[in-house]
Structure formats: structure tokens, C-alpha cells
């Protein structure tokens, strides 16, 4: 009986660790310029593609009914809460910990960046990098759930 229990644990523990190394979940975004908490973003996966929506605003300067007035695409004028800011991220075949190929939009300035995300510190944090040409910004988000 003990051998069976140990065999089950041998499969369950690595699976649980792998599950936390995914970007799927709720993340507290931290502004890379100010270091302030900005929002909670929920990242989901559907058909192997990640997307992320703002669940809640944490920035005291933002109101719950604020809209993305600086967005220049279909998100212009849409409420920030519920706004999809991370789109079309796919698993990188060469680096199993990396998701890329999509984009992220910063609702504060309306800019859309090519993006990559990578869980770090055993999935407790998410490194997010956005690119425009050779220039990039990097943020580290903290897992909430």
C-alpha cells in the first residue's frame, strides 16, 4: 500500500509543480517605471492560445468606469475593467517555458507591443516583455491565484 501511495505521489507532485509554471492565472501587475501595483490581470488559455483581461484596477488614480481613451484599435473607448490587453500568445516550440507571438497593449499610453511571457521563480512571478522594434519594456507580475 505504501509503494502505491509513493508511486502516486511521484506523479502528482511534478504535475502540481508544472501546473504552477504556466502563465494561466491571476496576476498583480507592477508598473515598470513607478513600481506601483496597477491592476489584476486574468490570463486564460483556449486552444493553446493565451489571452489576458484586466479583472480589477488597483491604481488609486483610476476609476472603475475608466475607458481606454488612448487605445487606437477596436479597444478604443472600452472600459478598462474587462479589457483584453494580452492577445494571441502561443507556446514557443524551442523554449517550453516561453510564450510569444502575440501582443500586449498598455492602456495608459495606448501602445501595443509584441510580447513574450515567461513564468519565473517556480511560477510565482511572470516576466513579461513588450517590444516595439529594437526597444522593449520588461515587467514582473506577481501571481495572485
pLDDT band at 3 (very low <50, low <70, confident <90, very high): low
User: What span, in angstroms and rounded, lies between the C-alpha atoms of 105 and 8?
Assistant: 43
Residues in CB range of 121: below 8 A, 6 or more apart: none
Across the chain, what does the average pLDDT equal?
A: 88
- Answer for the pair 144, 26: CB distance below 8 angstroms, yes or no: yes
pTM to 2 decimal places: 0.84
- Answer for the pair 58, 38: CB distance below 8 angstroms, yes or no: yes
Kindly list the structural domains of the chain, giving each domain's residue range(s) and its CATH number in brackets, ordered by start. Answer: 2-143 (2.40.128.520)
- Give the three cell numbers for residue 131: 517590444
- Dump pLDDT digits (tens) for 84-108: 999 999 999 999 899 999 999 999 9
Residues in CB range of 12: below 8 A, 6 or more apart: none
User: What span, in angstroms and rounded, lies between the C-alpha atoms of 27 and 140?
Assistant: 10
Amino acid at each position: 500500500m505504501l509503494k502505491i501511495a509513493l508511486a502516486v505521489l511521484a506523479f502528482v507532485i511534478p504535475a502540481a509543480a508544472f501546473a504552477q509554471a504556466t502563465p494561466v492565472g491571476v496576476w498583480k501587475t507592477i508598473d515598470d517605471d513607478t513600481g506601483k501595483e496597477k491592476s489584476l490581470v486574468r490570463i486564460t488559455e483556449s486552444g493553446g492560445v493565451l489571452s489576458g483581461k484586466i479583472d480589477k484596477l488597483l491604481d488609486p488614480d483610476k476609476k472603475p468606469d475608466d475607458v481606454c481613451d488612448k487605445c487606437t484599435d477596436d479597444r478604443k473607448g472600452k472600459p478598462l475593467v474587462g479589457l483584453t490587453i494580452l492577445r494571441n500568445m502561443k507556446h514557443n516550440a524551442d523554449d517550453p517555458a516561453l510564450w510569444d507571438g502575440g501582443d500586449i497593449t498598455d492602456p495608459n499610453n495606448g501602445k501595443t507591443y509584441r510580447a513574450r511571457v515567461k513564468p519565473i521563480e517556480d511560477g510565482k512571478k511572470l516576466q513579461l516583455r513588450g517590444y516595439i522594434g529594437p526597444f522593449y519594456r520588461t515587467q514582473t507580475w506577481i501571481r495572485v491565484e
